[in-house]
Structures are given as C-alpha cells and as structure tokens.
Amino acid sequence: MRPGRPVAGRGPTVGSCNSWDTRAALWILIAVGLLACAPDTRPVPLAEPDVARFGELQPWLEARCATLDCHGDPGRPLRLFSETGLRAPGTSRDAPLSSEELEDNAWSLFGVDDTPAERHLAVTKPLARSAGGVDHVGGDVWTSREDPMHRCLVGWLDETQRPESWSVDCAAARAAWSVPPESP
Amino acid sequence: MTSVSRLSRARWLVPVLVTSLGCLGSTTREEERAALGDTDHHVLVDGRWEEPGPLHRPGQPCLVCHSGAHPAEGTSFEVAGTIYERATDRYGVPGVLVTLEDAEGPYAQVVTNRTGNFMVAREGDDDESDAGMVRVRRAFVPPLRVTIERDAVERSMRSFVWREGSCSSCHRADEADDSPGRVVLEDAP
C-alpha cells in the first residue's frame, strides 16, 4: 500500500497514524529479531590445519600431486614440498622431508580456500565435474567422492566430519599412490 | 561525408589501434624459446659441427620448440630428453635404453643417440627408431614411469610424470630446490 493514498474502507489518510503501517513495521521488527536469534546452520569455516595428522596425506600427495611438473612448482597456487620434488630453500635433496616442510605443506593445502571441507577448493579442484568438482588444469584426479584420497582429504580438513574409517581411507590412498623408496 | 567528419572518426580509431597493438606481443612459449638462446644449437660431434637435428641442444627442454601447433622442423614430441653418464658431463651418453610406461601399459622404448638425446615423436606412422627417435601413435596417458638402462646399470625414476614431456624442464643442469639435476646413470660419489 502506498502511503498517503486514501483507500476506500481502509481508514486513515495522509498524516494520520496508519495502523496497518504500524502493524507491518512491528511484524518486520519481530521477524528480523527472530532471524537474528536463529541458529546459524551454515558450515563453519575451517580454523586451522591438523598439522599433527598431515603425515597421513603426505605420501599420496607426493606421488599424485606434488611432482615438479604439477604442485611441486613454486609458481602454482598450491605449493607442495616433497622428498622427490620441490624442497624448502636450503634443504638437501637427499634429506627426508623435514617437519617444517610437512607443516608448510599442511598450511599450504589448508590455505587454498577458507570454505568448509566439502566445498574447499583443494577438494573440489581434483574432483571430476560430474561428481561436483570444478575445473582443474591437472584433470580429474577423483571421479567420485568415494575415492579414498577424497575421503582422506575431507576428513583431514575438518575433524568434525572425520569418520571412524578415516585412517583406513588414508591408508588405502597411500597404498594406491606412494613414491617407492630409493633403491640402494 | 565531409572531410571533417572523416577526421573526427579517424581520431577515434587511434586509441583503438593503440589498444589493439598493446595486445600483441610474445607468448610465454615464444619467451621460453628466446630464453634458450643459441647455446648448443650446433654441437661438435666427432670433430664436426652438427646441424640442427636429433643431436642438437642436449640437456635443453625439447618440447619448448617441438610441440604445439607449429613445432620446429615440423616435428612434435610427446616426451624427449637427454641422459648423462655423470652430472658434470658436457654431453649426454649414447646407447641408453629408455623405457616409458604409462597408465595404459608399455608406451615407448628408445635408445639415446650420440649426444645422449632421445625423442618420442607423435607424427608419422612408422615405428622405426632413428638417431634416438621413436614414433608413437598416441599421447601418453599419465602417470608416466621412466626407466633407463645401459650395460649393468638400471635406474627408475621414483616419482611419476604427470604433465611435462621435456625431461630438462625439471631435470636442469644444476641441482636445486626445484630440480634434482640431470638424468644420470651414475650418481656423484
């Protein structure tokens, strides 16, 4: 209803106290108040990476993602150190991966995005579009969300979503994808 | 149309042309080619200078020129590189068997030529190996696994190749944080 326009049978005109407008304003205030009190059901953005458990991911990340021609390239948005690929400045190529490199990797992977685990870019990039993923220069790494690597990564990103089988998923991913040890 | 209005239109064309010219320039690939320079373009083999061909530019990233829509000499490679006896050698080593296996199984086998170069080329229908070159019918399906072998020495690359066909893109002359150094048969003592 436009203010100030007389409406037949609806009472007041310009300048008077319009009870309809007052009621509407009250309802709006109540609705806004209720919405403000409603619990936020949106997934909570991730706080910080679980550095202590990153070792569950590193072996398959090294084989599948961190090679020098992919994310072992320091110029790429997701930079990953690995024993056979990119090393942190000043680290011997023959040395095992250091705890600092591992922690840097955890933050690097975690910091790709600040959205919840299932929508995190580190999860959606390698996932095929047919499974809900997004474009990835490196192609489809996982064709479904059931891939052990996908489940391992999602579980690592968010402890609250970590199922009991999480360690089993990560172990399966490592069994499928790991760089073999150096031959003597 | 009067000459004044023509001039007026021409004035608008100037910034348009200038902007268009700004879009022209060298591509990343052209810059990479330029960065290679002329070093090792001709190599001294058995006392004579070799013309550009399968012996040239050992140790350089072959696919910078030999790939894409207009490859150098009309030859496009899927995989190519240079194998050295030792990391400090000037040229590569001949007679090394390079075995490539991709996600679909055996992909190619090729023996390095006199400068240590090997090339897996896609064009052509014959499978004859010539001067370090073998021809294949398809692109490799990653991951690619690489093994080199000569006499009693056999070495396998521990990591996989997912994208890059030029060995030297990662295996540069000097070992660094982002390069394991040259592909060698013998490690430094």
Q: Where are the domains of chain B?
A: 26-166+180-184
Question: pLDDT: is B82 or A182 the higher one?
Answer: B82
Short-list B113, B133, B110, B112, CA closest to B122: B133
**What's the CA gap between B15 and B26, in Å, rounded?**
21
pLDDT value at position B43?
Answer: 64
Is the omega angle on the peptide bond into residue B143 within 30 degrees of 0, that is, cis? yes
The residues of chain B scoring below 70 in pLDDT are 1-10, 12, 14-27, 29, 38-46, 48-51, 123-130, 189
- Nearest by CB to A93, from B160, B162, B180: name it: B180
Question: Which residue's entry shows tokens 């969300």?
Answer: A145
The yes-or-no verdict on residue A13 having pLDDT over 60 is: no
The confidence band for A169, taking pLDDT boundaries of 50, 70 and 90, is: very high
Amino acid making up residue B130: D
From chain A, the residues in CB contact with B159 under 8 A are 62-63, 67-68, 82, 84-85, 179
Predicted confidence (pLDDT) at residue A121 exceeds the cutoff of 90: yes
> Which of these, B50, B101, B110, B52, lies nearest to B82 by C-alpha position?
B110
The answer to whether B69 and B127 are in contact (CB under 8 A) is no
Model confidence pLDDT, tens digit, residues A85-113: 999 999 999 999 999 999 999 999 999 99
Nearest residue to B120 (alpha-carbon basis) of B60, B183, B66, B52:
B66
- Residues B170, A138: C-beta atoms closer than 8 Å: no
Report residue A137's pLDDT band, with 50, 70 and 90 as the boundaries.
very high
Q: What is the mean pLDDT of residues A13-26?
A: 67
Q: How far apart are CA A140 and CA B136, in angstroms?
A: 25
Nearest to A63 among B159, B163, B178 (CB): B159
| Residue A11: pLDDT over 70 | no
CA distance A181 to chain B (A): 8
Radius of gyration of chain B (CA): 22
Interface-testing mutation among B156, B159, B169, with chain A (most A C-beta atoms within 10 A): B159
CA distance linking residue B100 with residue A115, whole number of Å: 40
Residue of B144, B15, B14, B5 whose CA lies nearest to B80: B144
* pLDDT for the residue B54: 87
Cβ atoms < 10 Å from Cβ of A114: 11
Give the closest of A88, A138, A180 to B158, CB-based.
A180
Strand-by-strand arrangement of the B145-150 sheet: B105-111, B97-102, B145-150, B153-156
A54: left (phi over 0), alpha (psi -120 to 50) or beta: alpha
pLDDT for B23 equals: 56
- Closest to A62 (Cα-Cα) out of A184, A173, A166, A142: A173
Among the residue ranges A66-80, A131-145, B54-68, the one predicted with the least confidence is B54-68
What is the C-alpha to C-alpha distance for residues B72 and A118, in angstroms, rounded to an integer? 45
pLDDT value at position A41?
57
Interface test with B, best of A60, A61, A62, A67 (most B CBs within 10 A): A67
Chain B partners within 8 Å of A180 (Cβ): 156, 158
Query: To the nearest whole angstrom, how far is the Cα of A86 from the nearest Cα of chain B?
Result: 5
What are B132-180's pLDDT values in tens digits?
A: 999 999 999 999 999 999 999 999 999 999 999 999 999 999 999 999 9
Torsion of CA A103, A108, A114, A115, to 10 degrees: -90
Q: What are A29-42's pLDDT values in tens digits? A: 877 766 666 655 55
Only one residue has tokens 């490199």, namely A101
Most confident residue range from A36-50, A116-130, B19-33:
A116-130
Closest-CA distance of chain A to residue B48, Å: 36
Mean pLDDT, chain A, rounded, equals 86
Model confidence at A181, pLDDT cuts 50, 70, 90, reads confident
ipTM of the complex: 0.79
Residue B162's identity, in one-letter code, is: W
Cα–Cα dist A121/A152, whole Å: 15
Q: With contact defined as beta carbons under 8 Å apart, do B65 and B71 qualify? A: yes
Residue A43 has pLDDT above 60, yes or no: no
